[in-house]
């Protein structure tokens, strides 16, 4: 049965204690030149003045819906917003950022014209006045439009090869039917939910295009994820992303091109987990733990082993072991199972000691 949509775009905004910035965010959305939108704000248990601001805007604009929940994190809030969405397209914005008012008009027009599952566009950051003004700004944009419409797998290869891959959902406009057809959800309880979600979504996408236009403005302030001091949660989240990629690899038979992108994603997330772990204090390192014994053992062997004495040499050996043994690793996992693969991994790292 074909899904019936009642509006063009569902804009989903998770909200948690962003009183100083929420009005600017909401203004940038309610003033979009595309008027046929719904704005779903999910209050994730805010304890400041954010709920009052949401109520004020809801009373002024009938397109705004407010969902309230106990504090359960951004992934849960986004999933609840998706459940309530009635738009042909879905767009996510963080409540401490803002967007250009032409964003939705421009992107939906192009997505319609090209029949896209996802349109990727540019993002730029700025440092909030008085908040670590010495921090470098960053941007996520390609130097050129993608040379054509890609499959999601082809897009990831092109974007990563050209240093233009944005695993950030606020820089992506998605077709709602694509989400529904592929049962896509944000993994709950991790910090970097965008990375794993984007990976899964692009692996499934059939039509992807990227443009250079920069419509999103990302605010960096003391409570931004990018500026908070690193903790055990950062390590656990990146490792959870690595495990999510690994689990995805064995859902079905993959092509060599898919295996290549899966492995690149797995290596990337594992390296980030290792890098964060290396710079943690001893107290924070001791807090790193996972629910399953398998993940604790795999983390200990693949991450901690790479950061003991003679760290640089062991880290290089651990990292290069992954791409050097990609064929062996996938063959062993698919033919003999995870237990024997872990046994071989343990034996390999034991020889490094």
Quick one: what percent of the chain has pLDDT higher than 90? 50
| Non-local CB neighbours of 342 within 8 Å, separated by 6+ positions | 294, 297, 298, 301
Q: 7-220 adopts what CATH topology?
A: Spore Coat Polysaccharide Biosynthesis Protein SpsA; Chain A (3.90.550)
Quick one: pLDDT at residue 273?
87
Residue ranges covered by each domain of the chain: 7-220, 232-352
Quick one: pLDDT at residue 86?
97
Quick one: pLDDT at residue 163?
81
Measuring CA to CA, which residue among 259, 173, 250 is closest to residue 211?
173
**217 touches 99 (CB < 8 A):** yes
Q: At what angle do helices 193-204 and 74-84 cross, to 10 degrees?
A: 40
**18 touches 25 (CB < 8 A):** yes
Quick one: pLDDT at residue 314?
47
Quick one: pLDDT at residue 169?
94
Low-confidence ranges of the chain (pLDDT < 50): 1, 130-138, 308-317, 319-336, 348-353
CA 253 to chain centre: 24
Quick one: pLDDT at residue 140?
55
């Amino acid at each position: 049965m074909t899904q019936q949509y009642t509006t063009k775009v569902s804009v989903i905004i998770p909200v948690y204690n962003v009183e100083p910035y929420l009005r600017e965010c909401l203004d940038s959305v309610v003033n979009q030149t595309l008027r046929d939108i719904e704005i779903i704000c999910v209050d994730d248990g805010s304890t400041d003045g954010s709920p009052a601001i949401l109520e004020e805007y809801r009373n002024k604009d009938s397109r705004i819906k407010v969902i309230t929940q106990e504090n359960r994190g951004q992934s849960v809030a986004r999933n609840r917003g998706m459940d309530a969405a009635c738009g042909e397209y879905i767009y996510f914005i963080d409540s401490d950022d803002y967007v250009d008012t032409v964003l939705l008009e421009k992107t939906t027009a192009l997505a319609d014209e090209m029949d896209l599952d996802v349109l990727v566009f540019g993002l730029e950051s700025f440092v909030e006045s008085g908040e670590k003004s010495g921090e470098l700004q960053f941007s996520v944009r390609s130097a050129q439009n993608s040379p054509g419409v890609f499959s999601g797998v082809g897009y990831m290869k092109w974007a990563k090869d050209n240093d233009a891959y944005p695993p950030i959902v606020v820089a992506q406009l998605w077709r709602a039917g694509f989400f529904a057809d592929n049962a896509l959800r944000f993994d709950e309880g991790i910090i970097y939910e965008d990375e794993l979600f984007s990976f899964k979504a692009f692996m499934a996408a059939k039509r992807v295009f990227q443009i250079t236009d920069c419509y999103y403005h990302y605010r960096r302030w003391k409570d931004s994820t990018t500026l908070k001091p690193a903790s055990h949660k950062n390590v656990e989240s990146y490792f959870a992303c690595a495990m999510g990629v690994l689990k995805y690899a064995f859902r079905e038979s993959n092509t060599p091109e898919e295996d290549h992108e899966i492995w690149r994603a797995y290596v990337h997330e594992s390296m980030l987990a290792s890098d964060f772990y290396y710079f943690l204090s001893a107290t924070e390192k001791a807090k790193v733990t996972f629910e399953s014994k398998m993940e604790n053992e795999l983390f200990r062997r693949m991450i901690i082993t790479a950061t003991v004495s003679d760290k640089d040499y062991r880290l290089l050996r651990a990292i290069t072991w992954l791409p050097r043994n990609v064929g062996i690793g996938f063959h062993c996992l698919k033919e003999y199972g995870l237990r024997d693969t872990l046994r071989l991994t343990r034996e390999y790292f034991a020889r490094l000691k």
